[in-house]
Amino acid sequence: MQAQRTILNLLAAAVLGLFLWWAEGHLDGYKIQILNLIAVNIILALSLNLIYGFTGMFSLGHAGFMAIGAYVCSVLILDPAQKEMLFILEPAYTWVQQAQAPFFVAVMAGGLAAAFFGVLVGAPLLRLGDDYLGMATLGFAEIVRVLAINLPRVTNGALGFKGIPGHANLWWNYAWCVFTLFFVVRLVASNSGNVFKAIRDDESAAKAMGIDVFRHKLLSFSLGAFFAGVGGALLGSLVATIDPKMFNFVLTFNVLMIVVTGGLGSITGSVVAGVVITILLEWLRVVENPLFIGDWELPGIPGMRMVVFSLALICIILFRREGFMGKREFNWGWLLRSLGNKAGRHGS
């Protein structure tokens, strides 16, 4: 069964590879951009699900970690000549000016920097009760934004970066996405995953079972921060432009929406909702454009799609608390069995 699963996983990866190869040749830039966003959003959703869905820590700091990942990565992949042109408010520090790294290393550095800040803010904040963690992490994300504005020699202040090299193509994004998926699946399936879920379900009981609750919360939080940083790094390269405004609460909210819709504590849910909601978010841009009904023009309202999505989120929370998947997961055995049943019925 173990070997069989490995083969099926490899097959699935091969199918994904073929699809990407096909997409690269046949889809237009806009569709490819959506595919890229799907990969990034899945990474972000998985990282928040690890923190919130599996370990029960209601964190609203994702945009902060993403910003750290995006800035670190961008500084490393921007050309020194480019940086010289970019920093018009104040010249960059020499180490910022000269920092250079290949894309993979830059993304990794973005993730590690975010994880480092995860430990730094997690150490004091995770001792707070759950009611305060949301507030405090929201504050953290806001501080990151304010710092980004006020450290012009590192971040170019409110102007941010433009023309970030677009290394984050389909292949890089999906490689990171698959790696994140692999990592989180392995982690959650391990006994450490059981421990995270135990902390989520009953912290006191977990302590009585000999679990160092604080240490495990910090672990989950900083691993989540790492992947949020990776997602931010990829996003920066993908959209080519970053500035402090981009990393506001809406960014965190989008990720939260994917996680809650998919199901807190369901990896499958995060993946499926990552695909569906990314597409819907793009598709819903329609409601922000003027709409013509006959001769009558309905003016487009900026931010309308967020209203639509917020309403949808409220409905999910009201009517389907556990999200699309609940805590259930996809597995090959289940798929094969249901296919087998169908085949059996057709045969008879």
Q: Which residue ranges make up the site for another protein (CB under 8 A)?
A: 183, 186-187, 189-192, 194-195, 197-198, 200-202, 204-213, 219, 265, 327
Q: Which is nearer to another protein, 205 or 311 (CB)?
A: 205
In the complex, least distance from residue 334 CB atom to another protein, rounded to whole angstroms: 14
Q: H or E element: which one contains 232?
A: helix 213-239
Mind giving me the DSSP string for 73-131?
HHHHHS-HHHHHHH--SSPPPHHHHH----HHHHHHHHHHHHHHHHHHHHHHHTTS-HH
Q: Which is nearer to another protein, 186 or 245 (CB)?
A: 186
Q: Tell me the HSE value of 45 on the side-chain side, using a 13 A CA sphere.
A: 32
In the complex, least distance from residue 178 CB atom to another protein, rounded to whole angstroms: 14
Q: Which is nearer to another protein, 57 or 63 (CB)?
A: 57
Residue 238's nearest CA partner among 17, 35, 13 is: 35
**Residue 169 CB: number of other CB atoms within 10 A?**
16
Residue 41's nearest CA partner among 302, 274, 320, 337 is: 274
Q: Which is nearer to another protein, 204 or 348 (CB)?
A: 204
Look up residue 322 and give its two tokens.
């556990």
Q: H or E element: which one contains 41?
A: helix 29-48
Q: Which is nearer to another protein, 211 or 304 (CB)?
A: 211
In the complex, least distance from residue 221 CB atom to another protein, rounded to whole angstroms: 13
Q: Which is nearer to another protein, 9 or 97 (CB)?
A: 9
Q: Which is nearer to another protein, 162 or 327 (CB)?
A: 327
In the complex, least distance from residue 67 CB atom to another protein, rounded to whole angstroms: 26
In the complex, least distance from residue 200 CB atom to another protein, rounded to whole angstroms: 8
The CA-atom distances, in angstroms, between 91 and each of 83, 155, 232 are 9, 10, 24
Residues contacting 281, CB < 8 A, separation 6+: 254, 305, 309
**Spatial contact of 234 and 40, defined as CB atoms under 8 Å apart:** yes
Q: Which is nearer to another protein, 223 or 281 (CB)?
A: 223
In the complex, least distance from residue 266 CB atom to another protein, rounded to whole angstroms: 11
In the complex, least distance from residue 191 CB atom to another protein, rounded to whole angstroms: 6
In the complex, least distance from residue 204 CB atom to another protein, rounded to whole angstroms: 6
Q: CA 51, 102, 166, 12 torsion: positive or negative?
A: negative
How far is 57 from 214, CA to CA, in rounded Å? Answer: 11
